[in-house]
Amino acid sequence: MKRFFTGMHAPLTGGRLASTVTVLLVVLIGASFFALAVGSVPVSFRSVVGACTGLLPVPDTDRLIILEIRLPRVLLAILVGAGLSVAGTVLQALLRNPLAEPYILGISSGGTMGTILAIALASGVSHFIAPAASFAGSALVMVLVYAMAHRRGQLDPFTLLLSGVMVGAFFNAAVLLTVALFNQELRHAFLWLMGNLSDARYEALMVAGPLMLLAALPAFFFARQYNLIATGDETALQLGVDVRALRRRSYAIASVITGAVVSVSGVVGFVGLIIPHVARMVFGPDHRLLLPASFLLGGTFLVLADMLARTVLSPTEIPVGAVTALLGAPVFVYLLRRT
């Protein structure tokens, strides 16, 4: 397990960091433009470039499809994929366990419970109330799981993982009960439970986007400390890392990120599992590179997954959470057997 997080790769330099981030950013932009062009009503790549840059004439119909329907959805996919990937990377670093991620630890279920309760109990939920309720639910689950995983004053990563699965199952059951009790108000809740980006709006992005980015930013400053924690808590303490304080702050980061993205997308599972694992295999375990790589790869992955969700059975849409689950479940089994 320790070798998984401290394996040998090429040393990180400023040039390597800049070139890797640049390449991944170009890939993300390319995938986004491709997703804007593909759909039940295809539009030309020229129209996509013209609508996004204003440099080329674009038919009014194409402009409406690109800017009002597909662009907010692509931006939402980037936001959710990047946020969940960063949260997964942070949790895996703290627990030194490649199976840790917001969905498996139950944080996503808590965020969903908070959002659905807000929708059920408050008529006309604003774009500010839903993220706040989602964050409260995510934080509650994280506190419960964190408390249950302490044994004789020490945090047991494996107990935390099992506690997360158990608490997540409980909150999933609570969500289903809430949906049954408030079936009229929550007629779209089942789509939410499977992860759904079809209701993307610029207003929601303007609230959840800054919240997610502000929560994720401190994780990048903690990258060196995550590297030290990978060698073990005692070694990290000897090297000046306040492990307990770092864990508390990082769990708060993961909870805020998860709450923000769940409030606008529902439960999108396994992104925080797949992407950090792929990024770690390709770029190495150094979190100074791993975190930005996971951020950009996560956005790219969910843009492409959502494109599949809305085109593979067009004009019928598949919830994007079903696509990520189909891809993530085999990876979870592989990691479970390997580690």
Give the mean pLDDT of the chain: 82
Which fold, 71-338?
ABC transporter involved in vitamin B12 uptake, BtuC (1.10.3470)
pTM of the entire structure?
A: 0.86
pLDDT band for 25, please (50, 70, 90 cuts).
Answer: very high
Residue 90 banded pLDDT, cuts 50, 70, 90: very high
19 — pLDDT class (breaks 50, 70, 90) = very high
User: Which of the four pLDDT bands, split at 50, 70 and 90, describes residue 292?
Assistant: very high
8 pLDDT exceeds 60? no
Q: Residue 220 pLDDT > 90, yes or no? A: yes
pLDDT at 76: 93
pLDDT higher than threshold 60 for residue 185 = no
CB 80 within 8 A of CB 305: no
What is the pLDDT at residue 336?
A: 66
**CA 131 to CA 257: how far, in whole Å?**
10
- List CB contacts of 192: < 8 A, sequence separation 6 or more: 112, 115, 116, 266, 267
For CA atoms 287, 299, 197, 305, the dihedral sign is negative
Alpha carbon distances (Å) from 296 to 26, 84, 88, 131, 292: 10, 11, 13, 23, 6
pLDDT at 293: 95
* 10 CB burial (10 A radius; 0-12, 13-18, 19+): exposed
Could you give the 3-state DSSP secondary structure of residue 195?
coil
- Specify the pLDDT at position 322: 84
Percent of residues, the chain, with pLDDT higher than 90: 24
